[in-house]
Structure 1
Amino acid sequence: MIIFDNFPLICSFTAIFFTQFLKYPIAYFSKGKNTPLAIIATTGGMPSSHSAAVSALITALILQYGFSSGYVAIATTLGVIVMFDAMGVRRQSGEQGIVLVDAIRELNRLSDKSPKTPQELLSEKDEEKVYPEEMALKKYLGHKPLEVFVGLLTGIFVAFVVRLFYQRTGLL
């Protein structure tokens, strides 16, 4: 099939899918979160699928065309931009989302006209209210540097595993 002839493309997509599915056991064992679809279908988290995709692409291009290839130069430039964006701009957007959620909570708390008893105030501290505005706002969009680094290593690993598969099946 034609699509399987494109080794670098297969490496990139395999890295994306692999890292997205890898997020579930990592989240389950590290944080006890047990919502596989929500974790697998979201951005952010450990490892970075963005980093894995571009590093798998770069590694596959190096394996196929060598370090001095123009393809490697283009992919490496793109990869640096993607990884920097995953850590910087997207992470800052996520942190701003947290501030917005806090501001929405505070505005909703201040808009309550009824006076609160001390017991009601204490119970509010223990139980956070969930407002519809919060549900639409994603809190974490980006990655921590460690998540990007692990994604980079994962992408390199995936490229080598896919290469072994290609060599054994005669596709490469």
Structure 2
Amino acid sequence: MAELLSNQVLWTAVLASFIAQVLKLLIYYAVEREWQWERFVETGGMPSSHAATVSALATGVGITEGWGSAYFAIAAVLAFIVMYDATGIRRAAGMHAQLLNDLVEELQELRKQGPKPEPLKELLGHTYLEVAVGAIIGAMFAWISFLVV
């Protein structure tokens, strides 16, 4: 258990995710002037906490194990897959959900009867900017974490 608790790479990645989620909440408040606490646990939005997490992980592994190590290669490939998925597949799924919600809304207006189904979650993926900012936050946090500690 002590080994797990002292794993700096792991905790750097976890804290990078936490910081990105807090920033997401603060950015939303700055733009909309209202607190939406559920933003803290939602996917999507600025910045990407997934990108921050895997970027901090890969950077931490690179710093501790070496940039030419197989461990860094594994972490870097994982990071690229996660970030690609966030801007591609999950973003497309969110756009599909938005379109389906619009269609359901139009059908409800035409029918004027029956219970309205719960809307699909639309904020699933990220723009390239949201992922880039998340990746920068993660890498910067990892460098700071390993330089300070």
Asked if residue 151 in structure 1 is aligned to residue 130 in structure 2, the reply is no
Aligned-pair distance for 1:95? 0.4
Asked if residue 142 in structure 1 is aligned to residue 125 in structure 2, the reply is yes
Question: What is the one-letter code of the residue matched to 1:48?
Answer: S
- Size of the aligned set, in residue pairs, is 146
Output aligned runs, 1:58-77, within 5 Å: 58-77=58-77
Greater Cα radius of gyration, structure 1 or 2 = 1
Output aligned runs, 1:40-55, within 5 Å: 40-55=40-55
Aligned-pair distance for 1:150? 0.2
Structure 1, unaligned stretches of length 5 or more?
A: 114-130, 167-172
* Deviating 4+ runs (over 6 angstroms): none
Question: What is the one-letter code of the residue matched to 1:49?
Answer: S
Per the alignment, residue 94 of structure 1 pairs with 94
Q: Secondary structure at the match of 2:123?
A: coil
Aligned-pair distance for 1:165? 4.0
Aligned-pair distance for 1:84? 0.2
Aligned-pair distance for 1:65? 1.2
Structure 2, unaligned stretches of length 5 or more?
A: none
Aligned-pair distance for 1:49? 0.5
1:28 and 1:139 mapped to 2: Cα distance?
19
Task: Output one character per residue of 1:125-157: Cα deviation in whole Å (capped at 9) or x when no partner.
Answer: xxxxxx4522xx211100000000000000011
Per the alignment, residue 169 of structure 1 pairs with none
Asked if residue 161 in structure 1 is aligned to residue 144 in structure 2, the reply is yes
Alignment RMSD:
1.4
Q: What TM-score results when the alignment is normalised by the length of structure 1?
A: 0.80
Question: What is the one-letter code of the residue matched to 1:21?
Answer: V
Q: Secondary structure at the match of 2:118?
A: helix
Per the alignment, residue 3 of structure 1 pairs with 4
Output aligned runs, 1:21-36, within 5 Å: 21-35=22-36
Q: Secondary structure at the match of 1:133?
A: coil
Per the alignment, residue 118 of structure 2 pairs with 133
1:95 and 1:69 mapped to 2: Cα distance?
38
Task: Output one character per residue of 1:26-48: Cα deviation in whole Å (capped at 9) or x when no partner.
Answer: 1111232321x211011101100
Q: What TM-score results when the alignment is normalised by the length of structure 2?
A: 0.92
